[in-house]
Structure 1
Amino acid sequence: MIKFFLMNLLLSFIWVALTGSMYYSNFIFGYLLGFGVLWVMNRDETDQRYFYRVPKIISFFFFFLFEMIKANIQVAYDVITPKYFFKPGIIRYPINAQTDFEINILSTFISLTPGTLIIDISDDRKAIYIHVMYLKDEEQFIRSLKTGVERKLLEILR
């Protein structure tokens, strides 16, 4: 998988050098063009993980960006209005992540969203304790994390 990523970066740099324009958009276009070339050339190989993970990573990036913008607007609205709408709470969130790396990445992405803060990880590494600024329904919050951030992140990592 690393081999394909490095070849894709090399193809991107070659594209930028051949076109002569050093812009991010040109580099991204070269990356996508190189991704397509590598995918066509390696369709018969057994290791296809790279070609499935890159679209999932891009999808996760836009999903997380949307969630972060939504949470920032909610916090900003609460700050600029005279009435406070937050209902803080601490929940025990059962996790499906198994390795330390998966737990660390998951807790980092949960903490990056405004309004949430990781307090602790249980000793058996089966749950994370989260302080939530806007906790209206605990079950709905857990369901949204399970089907959103955790599911998409574990699809990328596994």
Structure 2
Amino acid sequence: MEKQFLSNILLMLIWVFLTGDFAFSSFAFGFILSFFILWIISRKFKKRKTKYYRFLPSIISFIFFFLWEMIKANIQVAYEVSTPHYNMKPGIVKVPLDAKTNMEITFLANIITLTPGTLSLDVSTDKKVLYVHAMYVNDKQEFIDDIKNGFEKRLLEILR
């Protein structure tokens, strides 16, 4: 994976030096262009895809998913604070974990805590359950499914 990344960086730098434009947009475009060139070359000569060509799109997908969830949660909390009505239904939810290592659990707990309206409270001693406090728990199973199919699934794609 390191070899592909370094090749990507090298091709990006070649692009930047050939164009003579040292703006961030030139670096970003050169990185994306070189990624697609390397991906096409690897598909032609190798039967199996390397992890690098799944890793980068997974990170980009995770970043956009996290930003979308952050925006939704901020709007929901801002609406709750600015209106006189009490629409919250707070609760503590026991979320079963597919994440096994300390790093996976820590990243998941931190991502949940960074999202407004949710807070990771504790992990069970056997590391199979994460306790999460949320401002809006209308349906516990739906909340669990949102965490597992959203943050946890995308995070494990990156870390494994």
TM-score, normalized by the shorter chain, greater than 0.5? yes
Q: 5 Å matches for 1:51-130?
A: 51-130=53-132
Q: Structure 1 length as normaliser, TM-score?
A: 0.92
Q: Separation in 2 of the partners of 1:134 and 1:10?
A: 47
> How far did residue 99 of structure 1 move?
0.9
SS at match of 1:104: helix
Please state how far the C-alpha of 1:8 moved relative to its aligned partner: 1.3
**Runs of 5+ in structure 1 lacking a partner?**
none
CA distance in 2, matches of 1:21, 1:92: 52
% of aligned pairs identical?
53
Q: Distance in 1 between matches of 2:104 and 2:52?
A: 19
TM-score, L = length of structure 2:
0.91
Q: Secondary structure at the match of 1:119?
A: strand
Distance in 1 (alpha carbons) for counterparts of 2:17 and 2:113: 39
**1:7, CA displacement in angstroms?**
2.2
From 126, 133, 136, give the equivalent of 1:134: 136
SS of the aligned residue for 1:37 comes to helix
Q: Distance in 1 between matches of 2:88 and 2:98?
A: 28
1:143, distance to aligned residue in structure 2 (A): 0.9
Query: Where do 5+ consecutive residues of structure 2 fail to align?
Result: none
Query: Which SS does the other structure have where 1:86 is aligned?
Result: coil
- Where do 4+ consecutive residues of structure 1 move more than 6 Å? none
For these two proteins, the number of residue pairs brought into alignment is 158
The residue that corresponds to 1:42 in the other structure is 42
| Partner secondary structure for residue 87 of structure 1 | coil
Shift of 1:47: 5.8
RMSD: 1.5
